[in-house]
Chains A and B, each alone.
Chain A
Amino acid sequence: MKRIYLDNASTTPMRPEVLDAMMPYFTEEFGNPSAIYALGQTASDAVADARAALAGFIGAKPTEIYFTSGGSESDNWAIKGYAHANQQRGRHIVTSAIEHHAVLHTCQALEKEGFEVTYLPVDAEGLVDPAAFKDALRPDTILATIMFANNEIGTIEPIAELASIAKEHGVAFHTDAVQAFAHVPINVNEMGIDMLSASAHKLNGPKGVGLLYVRRGCKVDNLIDGGQQERGRRATTENVPGIVGFAKAAELAFVELDEQHDRQLKIRDHAIRRILDEIPHAKLNGSWENRLANNVNISFEFIEGEGMLLQLAARGICASSGSACTSGSLDPSHVLLAIGLPHEIAHGSLRITLGRDTTLEDVDFAIDSLKGTLENLRSMSPLYEDYKHGNYVGIMDGYKADGMPYVS
C-alpha cells in the first residue's frame, strides 16, 4: 500500500541531501567544537557556517542566533529567559489563546511564579486583532509572544503590525515561527521581531535541533547553565550534525521557497474547494486568505475525528485531527475552541498539511477516501440519524443560514 503523508505540520521527511551533509559529522568529523585541535576546529567551523547561513535567511546577524534542541526549548528559553531577566521592569506578558502548548504552558509556568499573562482571544479565522493587542499592553507589560502562523489552522498573524505596536510601547516581541520559518519570507528587522523560534524538522531537516533568534541588546537569562557553548548562553556540547543538517535543509528550502509555496497553494486550494463542493456539512477552519500554503483544516459534522483518522490510515493516508481522542486529553483542540467552534464540531476536525513531496494525485486520492470514510462514519452516527429524522438541528446548516463563508 502506498503511503500518502499529509501531516507535514507535524514533521517532515528529511531530504537525502541533508542526510549527506550531516553524515561526516557523525563519524570522521566527530570532534567537539570546544576542542583546540584541528578536529575540533572543523566541527566549530561547521557550526559557525550553519549559524551564519541561518542568520542570513532572516536578516539577522550570526551572533544573534542560538542553537537549541527544538522549537519547544526555543519558546521556553525566549519567554522564561526574557521574563526572568526583565522582571524588575514589570511582570506582565501578552500572548494569544491559540499559541502552541510550548508557549501556553510556559506562560502558565510563569503565572505560578507570579507573572501575569493576558491570553488574547482571536476572531473566527484565528487572527489576533491589533487593536485588542494594543489595548492589552500595560505599563508593566514586558513581553508579547504571538505565533507567526498557527500549527493547526494555518492562520498567519499580522506579525509586522503587532511587533510595531509592541515596539511603540517598549515591549519586546517574540514569535514562535516554527510553522512559518522557510515556508514564508521572514525578515526580523523589517518585521520588528525581537526573538524568534524555529525548528529544523518542519523543513525537511533533522529532529532535535532548533534555533532562537535574539536581537542584540535583548536581555535573556540562560535556561541551561553549564559550559561556554553558544557564547556562554546555552550549555551542552553542540549537536553538530543536527546543526549542519538544519542549515542545509534551510538552504534548500529557501532556494525553492516561492516555487514550493505557489505549488502547494494550488494543491491546497484545490483540496479545500473539492471538500467543500463534494462533502456536505463541512467547514473550513481558519482564514482562507491569511493561511499557510500547506494547511487544510476542515470540520465535519456528525462524526468524531479519531475514527476518521483510523479509516484514512487504513488506506495509507497520514493526517491529524483536533479531536480530544487524538490529543490524549478529554477536550478538543484549544485552537478550534478559540475560533468559536462548539465541541461537537471541534471533535470532527481533520488537518492535512502538504509538503514538498505532496502531489495533486495524493490529495485527490485522500479526498476520495475521505468521502467514503465520512459516508461510513455518518451511517453509524446517532447524530446523523437524528438529523435526518429532523430531531437534531445541524450546526453547519445554522452557519450557512447565518451566511458564514466556506461552509458546505
Chain B
Amino acid sequence: MAMNYSEKVMDHFTNPRNVGEIEGASGCGTVGNAVCGDIMRIYLDINDDGVIRDAKFKTFGCGAAIATSSMATELVRGKTVQEALEVTNKAVMEALDGLPPVKVHCSLLAEEAIHAALWDYAEKNGLTIEGLEKPVSDIGEHDHVEIVEDEDDL
C-alpha cells in the first residue's frame, strides 16, 4: 500500500531527531507492544524547576511511528512538565502536517509515551502532576481500530 506521508513525516523519519537513551533519566516510559508492531520508549531529563532539558527516544515501528517519536521529543524539549502535557497526539500530527488515517494511532502512541515518561518521573519524585493519568502500557489492536475510525480525515 503506497503511503502518502507528508514531507515533514519523511524528514523526521529519514533524519529522526533525538534518537538515543538518557542514562539516569528523570523519567522513562515505554508503550505499545511488538505484537502490534509498535513500541515507543521516551526518556526525559527534567531539571529541578520541572523543565524538560532533554528528550530522547527509541522506537520499533513503521515510518510514522519513528516520525511521531521524533516530533514528540522535539515538541517537549524546553517545556515544563505541565506544558508537556499539552503535547497531544493532535499537536504532534499538526506539527507533522498530518498523518494518513491508518497511522493516526502512532501519534496517540507518542502522546502515551510522553505521559508514561512523565508518570515515571512523578513516581520517582513522589509528585502529582495535575491532569496526568496513569498511562496504559499496551495499546491493543481493538483500540487502534476505534481510534482510526473515530478520526477525522487528517
A304 and B60 contacting across the interface, CB-CB below 8 Å: yes
Asked if B93 is at the interface of the complex by the 8 Å CB criterion, the answer is no
Task: Give CA–CA (A344, B10) in the complex, Å.
Answer: 24
Contact (A380, B144) CB under 8 Å given A307-B63, A307-B66: no
Asked if A314 is at the interface of the complex by the 8 Å CB criterion, the answer is yes
Contact flags (1/0) for A352-391 with B, using CB distance below 8 Å? 0000000000000000000000000001111111000000
- B19-A380 in contact (CB<8A): yes
Across the two chains, which residue of chain B brings its CB closest to A310?
A: B63
- Helix, strand, loop or mixed for chain A's interface? helix
Chain A residues lying within 8 Å of B10, measured Cβ to Cβ, are 310
Interface membership of A5, Cβ < 8 A = no
CB distance from A325 to the nearest CB of B (A): 4
Q: Given A304-B37, A325-B37, A385-B21, A330 and B141 touching (CB < 8 A)?
A: yes
| Contact assessment for A328 and B102 in the assembled complex, using a CB-CB cutoff below 8 Å | yes
Choice from B3, B141, B144, B145 contacting A306 with Cβ under 8 Å: B3
A95 within 8 A of B: no
Size category of the binding interface on chain A: 20 to 34
Contact partners of A82 in chain B: CB under 8 A: none
Is A343 at the interface (CB under 8 A from chain B)? yes
With A310-B13, A328-B102, A343-B35 known to touch, is A380 a contact of B62 (CB < 8 Å)? Answer: no
Which chain B residues border A307 with CB–CB below 8 Å? 13, 61-63, 65-66
Interface: A302 (CB within 8 A): yes
Q: Which residues of B contact A234 (CB under 8 A)?
A: none
Which residue on chain B has the smallest CB distance to residue A329? B102
When C-beta atoms are compared, the residue in chain B nearest to A383 turns out to be B60
A304-B37, A304-B38, A325-B37 given as contacts; is B65 within 8 A of A382 (CB)? no
User: In the complex, how many angstroms separate the beta carbon of A332 from the nearest chain B beta carbon?
Assistant: 7
B96 contacts across to A, CB distance below 8 A: none
Interface presence of A324 (CB below 8 A) = yes
Given the complex of chains A and B, what is the CA–CA distance between A251 and B154 in angstroms?
48
Least CB distance from B57 to A in Å reads: 8
Q: Which residues of B lie under 8 Å from residue A323 when comparing CB positions?
A: 37, 62
| Contact present for A304 and B62 (CB under 8 Å) | yes
A347 contacts chain B at the CB level, 8 A cutoff = yes
Q: Provided the pairs A327-B1, A330-B141, A347-B34 are in contact, do residues A306 and B63 lie with their beta carbons within 8 angstroms? A: yes
Interface residues of B (CB under 8 A from A): 1, 3, 10, 13-14, 16, 19, 21, 30, 34-41, 58-66, 102, 141, 144-145
| Residues in chain A within 8 A of chain B (CB atoms) | 302-307, 310-311, 314, 323-328, 330-332, 342-344, 347, 379-385
5 interchain residue pairs of minimum CB distance? A306-B62, A325-B62, A344-B34, A382-B58, A382-B41
Given contact pairs A325-B37, A326-B1, A381-B59, enumerate 4 new A-B contacts (beta carbons under 8 Å): A302-B60, A325-B62, A325-B64, A383-B39
